């Protein structure tokens, strides 16, 4: 997310920090580079124009000239103005009589169905009773896809042979009301903003069903086209919020920066991956942190809290301290780390720009996959007691995991080294900490 823009801005700010004092000419040169970086990131040119004017008005005043660190002050100004453009965070509205209805709308292929199930999972975690309504009667196998995704989180999908979208939604609403459901999420058919009949259909749903939220799902990878699509939908449908999908695949990120300012509609959710856990409530400050290469440590902690089993964690911590962690425990931890997202997604949430040359994320992903395959090819007895892994067993494990014996040896060696290190740390008290490095 924002890889290209973040890299470019960091280069600009690095040069800026080398100057002890800044003249108006220096500020103009910096802002010119920032303007080019934003335009190349596909940010709307009118948004860029307003942003640069706002930054310059503050940067050429006493706020910077009287600062002890003018370069840092300009970065602070850019950060503040960027947050202004990204807009205030607006919470999802779940008010009124139950079931509260959330309608997902957007173009075909924007990721509506996956977004609907991700949102359902998020609501489930908040204690809501959720069902999904399969109201996409246009796309072949749309209902099948919805059911397959819903099964992963034990979610009910309401469906009917009726081909009238409005009637499907009405029936789903009545069914949800009778069964004590608190949230009904409606997955509608993809439609073009110029298709008048289909857009009128959405208008009827909103007028006849008490809808709390109408979320427009947009593919962030389409750049400024996403902004045009949003403007088309807003003319016909009372959109209450935006859900930007495929944010992990957009190295430019211009749509996310522009769309709030251009449309006036708040971004409420973003999708940052393919798995159902990769959904985030929109937070402009944290997005600005990522854009400027400051990371998102709070977001990383939240991902970890969701991914890691809170019941197992204290037990595993004690095992680590005592050096009694087994390969079975190790595999569970790797699975939990995978739930947090790809290595690339985790690294980009850390402060500072980590060079892809220093760390090959593809190699890291492959190493995790191979390690899991190797551990899963062991018997339970072997996972609990790796000391019994003789040459014959290691050959069998390599064959079963599609790896080489040297890979199996690497996993065992790394695991043993980790055990020794953790055991050493577990024995340390405050006085003994300094002795570790002597």
Together in a domain, 222 and 348: no
Show which of 56, 86, 116 is a domain's final residue. Answer: 86
Beginning with the edge strand found earlier in the chain, give each strand of the sheet holding 241-245 in spatial order: 156-158, 130-135, 183-188, 100-106, 211-219, 241-245, 267-271, 279-281
Together in a domain, 68 and 212: no
Instruction: Tell me, yes or no, whether 94 lies in a domain.
Output: no
Instruction: Tell me, yes or no, whether 388 lies in a domain.
Output: yes
The per-residue pLDDT for 340 is 62
Instruction: Tell me, yes or no, whether 18 lies in a domain.
Output: yes
Instruction: Tell me, yes or no, whether 311 lies in a domain.
Output: yes
Higher-pLDDT residue of 304, 143: 143
Task: Tell me: pLDDT of 174 over 80.
Answer: yes
Task: Tell me: pLDDT of 410 over 60.
Answer: yes
Together in a domain, 75 and 134: no
Show which of 293, 322, 356 is a domain's final residue. Answer: 293
Q: By mean pLDDT, which of 2-6, 256-260, 286-290, 401-405 is the weakest?
A: 2-6
The per-residue pLDDT for 259 is 87
What CATH number should be reported for the domain holding residue 281?
3.40.50.300
Show which of 86, 110, 139 is a domain's final residue. Answer: 86
Confidence at 341, pLDDT banded by 50, 70, 90: low
What CATH number should be reported for the domain holding residue 310?
1.10.260.30
Higher-pLDDT residue of 190, 215: 215
Q: By mean pLDDT, which of 22-26, 147-151, 316-320 is the weakest?
A: 316-320
Find the mean pLDDT for residues 328-348.
Answer: 67
- Convert the pLDDT of each residue in 220-268 to its tens digit: 887 778 888 888 888 888 899 999 988 876 556 677 788 888 888 999 9
Together in a domain, 418 and 275: no
Together in a domain, 331 and 355: yes
The per-residue pLDDT for 428 is 47
Task: Tell me: pLDDT of 93 over 50.
Answer: yes
Task: Please state, for a pLDDT cut of 90, what percent of the chain lies above it.
Answer: 19
Instruction: Tell me, yes or no, whether 389 lies in a domain.
Output: yes
Together in a domain, 194 and 330: no
Higher-pLDDT residue of 238, 295: 238
Together in a domain, 406 and 371: yes
The per-residue pLDDT for 217 is 92
Residue 388: give the domain boundaries: 304-437
Together in a domain, 248 and 140: yes
Confidence at 358, pLDDT banded by 50, 70, 90: very low
Higher-pLDDT residue of 184, 250: 184
The per-residue pLDDT for 67 is 56
Together in a domain, 30 and 172: no
- Angle formed by the axes of helices 327-339 and 297-307, nearest 10°: 130
Confidence at 303, pLDDT banded by 50, 70, 90: low
Instruction: Tell me, yes or no, whether 413 lies in a domain.
Output: yes
Instruction: Tell me, yes or no, whether 266 lies in a domain.
Output: yes
The per-residue pLDDT for 17 is 79
Together in a domain, 130 and 277: yes
Block residue for tokens 């000391």: 387
Together in a domain, 262 and 395: no
Q: Are 351 and 295 in contact (CB under 8 A)?
A: yes
Together in a domain, 261 and 150: yes
Q: Average model confidence (pLDDT) for the chain?
A: 79
The structural domain count of the chain equals 3
Instruction: Tell me, yes or no, whether 93 lies in a domain.
Output: no
């Amino acid at each position: 997310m924002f890889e290209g823009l973040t890299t470019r801005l960091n280069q600009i700010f690095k040069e800026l920090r080398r100057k002890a004092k800044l003249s108006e000419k220096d500020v103009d040169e910096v802002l010119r580079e920032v303007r080019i970086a934003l335009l190349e990131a596909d940010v709307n040119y009118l948004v860029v124009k307003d942003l640069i004017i706002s930054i310059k008005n503050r940067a050429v005043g006493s706020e910077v000239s009287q600062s002890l660190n003018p370069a840092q002050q300009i970065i602070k100004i850019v950060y503040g103005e960027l947050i202004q453009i990204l807009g205030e965070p607006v919470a999802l509205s779940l008010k009124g009589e139950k079931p509260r209805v959330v309608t997902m709308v957007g173009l075909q292929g924007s990721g509506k169905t996956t977004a609907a199930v991700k949102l359902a999972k998020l609501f489930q975690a908040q204690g809501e009773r959720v069902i999904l309504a399969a109201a996409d009667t246009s796309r072949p196998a749309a209902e099948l896809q919805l059911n397959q995704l819903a099964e992963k989180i034990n979610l009910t999908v309401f469906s009917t042979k009726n081909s009238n979208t409005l009637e499907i939604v009405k029936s789903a609403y009545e069914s949800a009301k009778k069964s004590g459901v608190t949230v009904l999420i409606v997955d509608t058919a993809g439609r073009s903003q110029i298709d008048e009949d289909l857009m009128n259909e959405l208008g009827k749903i909103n007028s006849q069903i008490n809808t709390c939220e109408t979320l427009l799902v947009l593919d962030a990878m389409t750049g400024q086209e996403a902004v045009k699509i949003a403007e088309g939908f807003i003319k016909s449908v009372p959109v209450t919020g935006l859900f930007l999908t495929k944010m992990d695949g957009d190295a430019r990120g211009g749509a996310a920066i522009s769309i709030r300012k251009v449309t006036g509609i708040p971004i409420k959710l973003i999708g940052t991956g393919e798995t159902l856990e990769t959904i985030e409530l929109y937070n402009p400050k944290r997005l600005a942190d990522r854009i400027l290469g400051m990371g998102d440590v709070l977001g990383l902690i939240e991902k970890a809290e969701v991914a890691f089993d809170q019941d197992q964690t204290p037990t595993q911590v004690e095992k680590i301290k005592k050096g009694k962690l087994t390969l079975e425990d190790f595999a569970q931890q790797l699975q939990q780390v995978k739930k947090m997202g790809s290595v690339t997604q985790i690294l980009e949430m850390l402060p500072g720009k980590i060079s892809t040359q220093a760390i090959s994320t593809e190699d890291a992903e492959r190493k995790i996959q191979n390690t899991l395959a190797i551990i899963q090819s062991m018997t339970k007895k072997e996972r609990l007691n790796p000391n019994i892994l003789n040459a014959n067993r290691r050959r069998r494990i390599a064959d079963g995991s599609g790896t080489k014996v040297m890979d199996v040896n690497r996993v065992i060696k790394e695991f043993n080294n980790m055990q020794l290190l953790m055991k050493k740390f577990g024995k340390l008290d405050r006085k003994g900490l300094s002795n570790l490095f002597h």
